[in-house]
Structure 1
């Protein structure tokens, strides 16, 4: 296929396609079909990946220009009215002032669009800002609360703490945390995660909040999970070695699990036992910025087994490349896996 020039209509159309994909990739409702379509689009022609990279660079440059333009608009001194200037000239000066201010605001809007578009999917700026404690992508953090309870925050997690005269309340805004609860019968220990309240009946449990889904794993003793609006009598009791997966409007599914596999993240490991590659990739995405796409549906379903370190997910991708013969194409923070 011959190269396309800057003014070639096909090149312009390719740029539009790349920008549309860049916007869709930052959408929270990107479907599996769209993900596959994006991977296929990239593999059709090397110029597609070049156009995609160019679109990302353009948005970065626009963000920089917006920052400078906004400063210029804010620091412009007010126009001084001189009696020697006729009204028409003053009107033109005022119009120019409004033009520059309007341009600054417009560029600020472009800057905001650029930031929202290229921002990592894992970002939760508002929740992190208003939380008491949070971790970044790939970070873990241990905490000791005032009551002696111990918490381990996993990657990309934010919590708020509210201890009062009646209850020890933790709000899990997003992410995953392990709770080792100090005994205090007079002050129940409760975790609010999305639409679910989890009350400790024993010592150690794990709560993972992602989107509308809440997952609770009990390592020791038991907990009581209560959907919003329900009383304790209507709660779901989760015993040691059990996992509850809950979404609003659903009853909640209880399952017996392998605690060794479930606890592996606490040692910064990911243990996968005969699971589809797509499951492994979904977990790896939690520990790195950007997205990982699998271009082939058959490749998604290929089963893998292994113990993988979480300190450097890109090393895991390199291991998959060597063992499974998978090729990884890097486009900034995005990675496309294909045979």
Structure 2
């Protein structure tokens, strides 16, 4: 076993982690795992390290829909491990090609890359991950994701959204994409935001910064929001501060099949503040009816807010 490289051992550890958490696990898998651990102290160390990363990634996550895990996914060559656990979903990716991920309405998902980078995908998010020898790349096609990037000075971590790129080495940040609009919120560390093909200077963001880029090259806004509020979605919350009811409903409708609807424009202009659970539109409507001059009705499976 001395000829095994650390990368090989890490890949084996990821495979065992996935297999032991699979619904298709067999008694023979547990026996095989114990034999693998006993072969080499490096096996045990790698598995314990990966388990700690898994626990850290899923300890307080909010996942509305638990991803299914098939034995084929566990044993596939391109993806060494795809695992799910009660209370949080995590996929462990070991891939030198590209792999696509997508979350459904109301679903959130965690992805652990083989370099230790953790991704948290919000509802309605599509992205493609490519782990190469020269760089680590994510193409964010739509939605929002949080990245806790493992340090690797030889392989920068690049998130691409259209013609914009967010370049990091080791840091934590959110990136949200809605068509040609982009928002980057820094939690810790530093990133560089680059806009290809535009005569716009690169922006360096540090912890606490938020950069919002519109469709036009010069449509740029930078501020320093409350980071806990800006990243509350990761805990399954939406926080509003004197927010127009119309805007609050747009945000909450991203998480729930039961859509909130306003028929009176004057109601949409009313302001709301508070912290609300995502995916719980009925509870939100009841709260609004207590706080504002609004009544709730139900039509064709939708929750309608009207003026009292």
TM-score tier, shorter chain, comes to 0.5 to 0.7
Please give the secondary structure, in 2, of the residue aligned with 1:234. Answer: coil
What's the CA shift for 1:199? 0.7
Preserved contact between residue 180 and residue 205 of structure 1 (Cα < 8 Å): yes
Q: Could you tell me which of 204, 223, 231 is aligned with 1:237?
A: 204
Q: Deviations over 1:214-256 (max 9, x none)?
A: 111000022111112369x931112211111112432221111
What's the CA shift for 1:291? 4.4
Change (3 A) 1:261 1:223: same
Preserved contact between residue 151 and residue 169 of structure 2 (Cα < 8 Å): no
Q: Distance in 2 between matches of 1:174 and 1:327?
A: 34
Q: CA RMSD in A?
A: 2.1
Residue 137 (structure 1) aligned with residue 105 (structure 2):
yes
Change (3 A) 1:144 1:131: closer
TM-score, length-scaled by structure 2: 0.63
Q: Distance in 1 between matches of 2:253 and 2:127?
A: 21
Residue 301 (structure 1) aligned with residue 269 (structure 2):
yes
Q: Could you tell me which of 192, 216, 222 is aligned with 2:160?
A: 192
Preserved contact between residue 158 and residue 173 of structure 1 (Cα < 8 Å): yes
What's the CA shift for 1:271? 1.3
Q: Distance in 1 between matches of 2:164 and 2:302?
A: 33
Aligned residues: 209
Preserved contact between residue 252 and residue 279 of structure 2 (Cα < 8 Å): no
- Equivalent position of 1:310 in the other structure: 278
Residue 282 (structure 1) aligned with residue 220 (structure 2):
no
Q: Distance in 2 between matches of 1:250 and 1:292?
A: 33
Preserved contact between residue 153 and residue 178 of structure 1 (Cα < 8 Å): yes
After superposing the two structures, state which structure 1 stretch, 308-317 or 137-146, moved more: 308-317
Change (3 A) 1:330 1:196: farther
Preserved contact between residue 201 and residue 224 of structure 1 (Cα < 8 Å): no
Q: Distance in 2 between matches of 1:315 and 1:223?
A: 38
Q: Could you tell me which of 158, 181, 201 is aligned with 1:213?
A: 181
Q: Distance in 1 between matches of 2:258 and 2:132?
A: 39
Structure 2: runs of 5 or more not aligned:
1-97
Preserved contact between residue 130 and residue 137 of structure 2 (Cα < 8 Å): yes
What's the CA shift for 1:295? 2.3
After superposing the two structures, state which structure 1 stretch, 171-180 or 317-326, moved more: 317-326
Please give the secondary structure, in 2, of the residue aligned with 1:186. Answer: coil
Q: For residues 7-86 of structure 1, what are the structure 2 equivalents within 5 Å?
A: none
Change (3 A) 1:300 1:131: farther
What's the CA shift for 1:200? 1.2
Higher relative contact order (CA 8 A, sep 6+): 1
TM-score, length-scaled by structure 1: 0.57
Higher strand share goes to which structure?
2
Q: Distance in 2 between matches of 1:290 and 1:238?
A: 37
Q: Deviations over 1:165-205 (max 9, x none)?
A: 21101011111100000000000100011231111154100
After superposing the two structures, state which structure 1 stretch, 304-313 or 143-152, moved more: 304-313
Please give the secondary structure, in 2, of the residue aligned with 1:198. Answer: strand
Preserved contact between residue 256 and residue 279 of structure 2 (Cα < 8 Å): no
Change (3 A) 1:218 1:292: same
Please give the secondary structure, in 1, of the residue aligned with 2:204. Answer: strand
Preserved contact between residue 179 and residue 204 of structure 1 (Cα < 8 Å): yes
Preserved contact between residue 289 and residue 333 of structure 1 (Cα < 8 Å): no
Higher helix share goes to which structure?
1
